[in-house]
Amino acid sequence: MTETFDAVDIIRTKRDRGTLSRAQIDWTIDAYTRGAIAEEQMSALNMAILLNGMNREEISAWTAAMIASGERMDFSGLRSPAGAVKATSDKHSTGGVGDKITLPLAPLVAVFGVAVPQLSGRGLGHTGGTLDKLESIPGWRAELSNAAMMRQLSEVGAVICAAGAGLAPADKKLYALRDVTGTVEAIPLIASSIMSKKIAEGTGSLVLDVKVGSGAFMKTEAMARELAETMVALGQDAGVHTVALLTNMATPLGLTAGNAIEVQESVEVLAGGGPEDVVELTVRLAEEMLAGAGVHDADPAAALRDGRAMDVWKKMISAQGGNPDAPLPQAKESEVIYAPADGVLVQLDALAVGVAAWRLGAGRARKEDAVQAGAGVRLHAKPGALVRAGEPLMTLLTDTPEKFERAREALADAVLIAPEGSRPDQQLVLARID
């Protein structure tokens, strides 16, 4: 087969800060997916993109080419059992520590007749994976056929499941390469990776939760804003109503970081309780998702308080083989970390807590690694709390006590206690981008 372009010429163009044409980009993604571009050549191109960037037209073309590498889902004809047409809305988080928001959010939005096709992933490194959390529920399964997904969206209104292999397969291959070549942080590649899957998924509107801070991939607000603006533009170019919130990930969300313990906390939120920050972000994202789907008179906070969201949660879990009333796994071993002094807790570093949970067994270093359902970190205080020396600050949980030492090492500088009267910055939503 005679190739339309030459990979080396394309690498040189981007190396020399040139602009790739749509035809060059279409060929590049197709040729790499079918093996006509070697791994080392795509590695070089990824690095050139990391160093020199892409303009909006290039990123849009790159995203469209990745979508074209696989199938596209279509929810435009989705109807309720009564025959009413259902709008769809989805949310994507760029990943954080204690970020269990998808669990209460999907059933909450479904209360108001908007279907939520939430395709989620598993965790890698210090950030938790939604599917890992849900798989701690006895019987629950992540893999669904497209037909089963459509049926559940029609009957229940919400589904959280794994993406099929046919959805943007070029992205899967590219992401694995970026992971081992130091190019994960390239904003054009992050944006196109996320948005190719979300656009191919076929949702009518999309809300992006772009995390900022130590526990996020974007450490500064400027980096997070650039990523958010890029993804919102990609959504607009594809005709998907897209907005983004920049949210604080300097501190873990809620009081848990793990799998089963995050499910437990999500159920508390669905029962009308739970930590204030988890409730606040769940409601705020629900409002954005509903508005994107054309629903403007809803009260998501009321639907958490009165049990309607819990009803949908139980139906959603049951529809995927899970038992929503079954006891969740618990870790066999625990160890408490105590406050070293009196004062106000002004810092609880999200990255440190996430690494500790990962080392305890809640996360994985490689995709094929297993996770412990009961492992993680349970927090007893958040920034702003008054603490006394010797009081519990957090409890470490694992089935393998030899993991405690390395988890403690990760937490060595995680906590900062200041004199009484100090006030930490606790703003949760930093900005909205549309």
- For the stretch 6-60, pLDDT in tens is 999 999 999 999 999 999 999 999 999 999 999 999 999 999 999 999 999 999 9
Q: How far apart are CA 261 and CA 74, in angstroms?
A: 35
Q: Does the residue 134 lie in any domain?
A: yes
Residue 3 confidence class, pLDDT cut points 50, 70, 90? confident
- Please indicate, yes or no, whether residues 255 and 311 belong to a single structural domain of this protein: yes
Positions of E strands within 278-375: 333-338, 343-348
Active site residues: 92, 171, 178, 193, 197
Domain boundary residue, one of 267, 297, 319: 319
- For residues 178 and 313, membership in a common domain is answered with yes
Looking at the structure, do residues 291 and 409 belong to the same domain, yes or no? no
CATH of the domain at 408: 3.90.1170.30
Residues 103 and 227 in one domain: yes
409 in a structural domain: yes
Domain count, the chain: 3
Same domain, 147 and 222: yes
In a domain, 372, yes or no: yes
> Residue 310: which CATH number?
3.40.1030.10
pLDDT, tens digit, 9 for 90 and up, residues 132-142: 999 999 999 99
Residue 21, CB half-sphere, CA atoms under 13 Å: how many?
6
Domain match, 148 and 275 both: yes
Which residue's entry shows tokens 């948005």? 195
Q: Does residue 81 fall inside a structural domain?
A: no
Question: Is pLDDT above 90 for 185?
Answer: no
Domain boundary among 264, 290, 319: 319
Among residues 112, 62, 372, 387, the alpha carbon closest in space to that of 231 is found at: 62
Residue 78 lies inside a defined structural domain of this protein: no
311 and 337 co-located in one domain: no
Strand order in the sheet with 415-418: 386-387, 343-348, 415-418
pLDDT in tens, 298-335: 999 999 999 999 999 999 999 999 999 999 999 999 99
- Position 352 in a domain: yes
Q: How much is the pLDDT for 182?
A: 85
Q: Is 233 exposed, middle or buried (CB count within 10 Å of its CB: 0-12, 13-18, 19+)?
A: middle
Mark whether 382 and 233 lie in a shared domain: no
- On the question of pLDDT at 406 being above 90, the answer is yes
- What whole-number distance in Å separates Cα of residue 142 and Cα of residue 152? 13
Where in the sequence is the domain holding 412, given as residue range(s)?
333-418
Looking at the fold, whether 337 and 311 belong to one and the same domain comes out as no
- pLDDT, residue 384, reads 92
Q: What is the spatial distance between Cα 120 and Cα 411, in angstroms, rounded to a whole number?
A: 28
Residue 28 lies in a domain: yes
66-80, 214-228, 314-328, 414-428 — most confident range: 314-328
79 assigned to some structural domain: no
Residue 124 pLDDT grade (very low, low, confident, very high; cuts 50, 70, 90)? low
pLDDT band at 424 (very low <50, low <70, confident <90, very high): confident
Residues 349-364 have pLDDT tens digits of 999 999 999 999 998 7
On whether both 141 and 254 belong to a single domain, the answer is yes
Last residue of a domain, one of 260, 294, 319: 319
- The percentage of the chain sitting over the pLDDT mark of 70, rounded to a whole number, equals 98
Separation CA 329–CA 375 (nearest Å): 9
Q: Cβ atoms within 10 A of the Cβ of 52, count? A: 15
Residue 421 predicted with pLDDT over 70: yes
On whether the CB atoms of residues 265 and 273 are closer than 8 A, the answer is no
Q: Is residue 313 domain-shared with residue 372, that is, in the same domain? A: no
Do 29 and 137 lie in one domain? The reply is: no
